[in-house]
Chains A and B, each alone.
Chain A
Amino acid sequence: MNSVHFATSLIVQDRWATLVAAYLFLGGLGAALIALSLFSHLHFRANRAVTLWGTLAGEVFLGFGSALLLIDLLHPLNVWEILMPWNPFFLPWSWIAWGTQFIVWAMVFGLLYIWPLMIDEPWFRRLPLVGRWLNLWFELPLIKLVGVWAQKLRTPIAWFAILCGVGTAVYTGLLLRSFPAATLWANDLVPPLFTVSAFSTALAFQLLVLYGVLHQHDALAHWYERLDMLLIAVEIVLIFSIMLVILPGNLSGQATLHILLHSWGWIVGFLIVGLILPFLLEIKGTLKGWKGSAPVILTACMVLLGGFLLRHYFLASGVYVFPWANAGHDGVLGAGIYHVLTSH
């Protein structure tokens, strides 16, 4: 007989853990916040406060998320390689190369767009300790000049930042999609899922700001609630399509499904608390409204929790199927017994 028989091991990846999950979450949330805030300011007459809140929070989330990735690198000093704007043109097949540029330019152009808004916003000048310095800073001729030009070019600046924000949200999914071995990642529903989730969490954050901080229960808030409900509905369809159609199709997917269906954090934390309950609450809020802000704030917190748990479990449940037994490097210490699963 000339066939080659391979045994099989199932191994859950452990290289990318919580830091990268947080990076994917904050990256998607931050970029979607910038895109959403600028789009709302341009086309829905969102006021200055909510635009500043959304964009500045997006900048902080993107910056903090990127910092988390940076400290997870083996050799962070070499990160300058991917910061060069021309890098993606030399490595067009690398999604990290594109994603880094999307992040950088979403932050730069997002900041440029809100530059004139920040200069006009008295709240910054009244800040304790730093307010006096910001006052001086905003009066510098160069800062004012940048503000004037940012105002003149506000539409192209906004659209470029929005494009980069959407690009970042899509990239977080494409990154996982480019890893071929685990079925959970290597399927075409992952990029749309991560994009929808990013914008859903961004809407949830803005609802938190609108209801919890600015106390503005206006048309924009209701529009955000309705849009978030729709996005969560799409997310539910995508999640269950992955779980019920794609994952059962092969060994890697079945192993992932086994992990997910035995994880309380996934079932209760993500599926129920982070996805289905917010969906039901937002249906109620959209159809009949709420008397107070608390249900909206609670729903928004649940969506944000769900957004992080989705990315955490996506990383923690990716299963490699190796065509050898005893993967995990315990082979020299002791052998297990494995059935022949593949026979060519």
Chain B
Amino acid sequence: MTKYAMLINLDTCVGCNACMAACAMENQTPVWNPEKFRTYVYDEEIEIGDKVIRQFFPKLCNHCDNPPCVSVCPTGATWKMANGIVRVNTDICMGCQACAMACPYDARYGADSNDIDKGLGYYGKDFLKRTVPSIDKCDFCYDRLQQGLEPACVETCVAHSRIFGDLDNPNDLVTKVAATGKAQGLLTELGTGPNIYYIHKLPEDLV
């Protein structure tokens, strides 16, 4: 079996936003709306005592083991594959946005009719992937995975901040790092079982 996961090294992310651009072009997200991205890089300044560090924080769907978005979906449009990827079937999604309300990671947005119309002009009729309104989210670039490629955000990351892996493979780097306990998931206390792991080592002079 395969269980996909991602490791994000916050120390090497330089905040170039190339992952956001690659994801947006690969998945035709509504780039004209700054609130509608599958992945987003936050620019943070974190204060520790009298010192401040700048940090970039990439965020995407956590493809949870116990995804609240799946359990609330009334049509079955959101489902979890055996390989761990949480996907949306746009053919049956009615866009109630209960999944977006349930997601504690703000990893979903609604692509409405206006976005479809703009997408037609932006991406062109011949290349348009999204033709009906629905909820949209990261699916680890499922189409690319089927071609043996990595997700667009991983492949484009100039700092190797994003590492894609298989938790069921004991030799995979992501599995090894996750097993050390040095990588952390987000909001694990909610019981969602996130599969995006973050590592971060604060500079020694700050702590």
Is there contact, CB below 8 Å, between A327 and B182? Answer: no
Residue from the list B54, B187, B190 in contact with A335, Cβ < 8 A: B54
Is there contact, CB below 8 Å, between B106 and A73? Answer: no
B193 interfacial by beta-carbon distance below 8 Å: no
User: Known contacts being A75-B132, A91-B76, A180-B68, is A322 close to B47, with CB within 8 Å?
Assistant: no
Residue from the list A1, A97, A179 in contact with B207, Cβ < 8 A: A1
User: How far, in angstroms, from A320 to B36 measured CA to CA in the complex?
Assistant: 18
How far does the Cβ of B79 sit from chain A's closest Cβ, in whole Å?
Answer: 10
25 pairs from A and B in contact (CB 8 Å cutoff): A4-B10, A5-B202, A7-B57, A16-B97, A16-B101, A75-B94, A75-B133, A76-B95, A78-B75, A78-B92, A79-B94, A81-B75, A82-B74, A95-B72, A179-B98, A180-B104, A322-B106, A324-B59, A325-B42, A325-B45, A325-B46, A329-B34, A335-B45, A338-B46, A339-B47
B28 interfacial by beta-carbon distance below 8 Å: no
Most buried by A among B71, B111, B191, B199: B71
Across the interface, which residues of A come within 8 angstroms of B184, CB to CB?
Answer: 4, 344
A96 interfacial by beta-carbon distance below 8 Å: yes
Across the interface, which residues of B come within 8 angstroms of A327, CB to CB?
Answer: 42, 106
Across the interface, which residues of B come within 8 angstroms of A96, CB to CB?
Answer: 72, 74, 96, 98
User: Known contacts being A4-B183, A329-B35, is A74 close to B72, with CB within 8 Å?
Assistant: no
Across the interface, which residues of B come within 8 angstroms of A335, CB to CB?
Answer: 43-45, 54
Give 1 or 0 for each of B52-82: 1 = CB within 8 Å of chain A CB: 1011010100000000100111111100000
- What is the interface of chain A, defined by CB distance below 8 A to chain B? 1-7, 11, 13, 15-16, 69, 72-79, 81-82, 87, 90-91, 93-97, 100, 175, 178-181, 320, 322-327, 329, 331-332, 334-340, 344
Interchain residue pairs A-B with the least CB separation, the first 7: A74-B95, A181-B104, A96-B74, A331-B42, A325-B44, A78-B94, A74-B133
Of residues 71 through 121 on chain B, the ones whose CB sits less than 8 Å from some CB of chain A are: 71-77, 91-98, 100-106, 110-113
How many CB-defined contacts (below 8 Å) exist between A and B?
A: 172
User: How far, in angstroms, from A189 to B66 measured CA to CA in the complex?
Assistant: 23
User: How far, in angstroms, from A2 to B207 measured CA to CA in the complex?
Assistant: 11
Is there contact, CB below 8 Å, between B104 and A91? Answer: no
User: Known contacts being A324-B57, A344-B184, is A74 close to B111, with CB within 8 Å?
Assistant: yes
- What is the interface of chain B, defined by CB distance below 8 A to chain A? 10, 17, 34-35, 37, 40-48, 52, 54-55, 57, 59, 68, 71-77, 91-98, 100-106, 110-113, 132-135, 182-184, 186-187, 190-192, 198-202, 204, 207
User: Known contacts being A78-B75, A87-B74, A329-B35, is A338 close to B44, with CB within 8 Å?
Assistant: yes
User: Known contacts being A5-B46, A326-B44, A337-B52, is A75 close to B93, with CB within 8 Å?
Assistant: yes
Most buried by A among B47, B95, B103, B106: B106
Is there contact, CB below 8 Å, between A179 and B74? Answer: no
Chain B, Cβ-Cβ closest to A91: B76
Is there contact, CB below 8 Å, between A320 and B110? Answer: no
User: How far, in angstroms, from A26 to B18 measured CA to CA in the complex?
Assistant: 46
14 additional A-B pairs beyond A15-B97, A181-B104, beta carbons within 8 Å, are A2-B201, A5-B46, A6-B198, A7-B55, A74-B111, A74-B112, A74-B135, A79-B94, A91-B74, A323-B186, A325-B57, A326-B42, A329-B35, A335-B44
Is there contact, CB below 8 Å, between A324 and B98? Answer: no
User: How far, in angstroms, from A329 to B36 measured CA to CA in the complex?
Assistant: 9
Across the interface, which residues of A come within 8 angstroms of B192, CB to CB?
Answer: 180
Chain A, Cβ-Cβ closest to B188: A344
How far does the Cβ of A60 sit from chain B's closest Cβ, in whole Å?
Answer: 22
How far does the Cβ of B113 sit from chain A's closest Cβ, in whole Å?
Answer: 8
Residue from the list B42, B77, B97 in contact with A324, Cβ < 8 A: B42
Chain B, Cβ-Cβ closest to A1: B207
User: Known contacts being A96-B98, A323-B187, is A5 close to B200, with CB within 8 Å?
Assistant: yes
Most buried by A among B75, B100, B111, B191: B75
Is there contact, CB below 8 Å, between B101 and A15? Answer: yes
Is there contact, CB below 8 Å, between B98 and A332? Answer: no
User: How far, in angstroms, from A118 to B98 measured CA to CA in the complex?
Assistant: 38
How far does the Cβ of A105 sit from chain B's closest Cβ, in whole Å?
Answer: 16
Is there contact, CB below 8 Å, between A74 and B199? Answer: no
Is there contact, CB below 8 Å, between B94 and A73? Answer: yes
Across the interface, which residues of B come within 8 angstroms of A73, CB to CB?
Answer: 94-96
Is there contact, CB below 8 Å, between B93 and A178? Answer: no
User: How far, in angstroms, from A41 to B184 measured CA to CA in the complex?
Assistant: 59
User: How far, in angstroms, from A334 to B103 measured CA to CA in the complex?
Assistant: 25
Chain B, Cβ-Cβ closest to A186: B190
Most buried by A among B100, B187, B199: B187
User: How far, in angstroms, from A41 to B15 measured CA to CA in the complex?
Assistant: 67
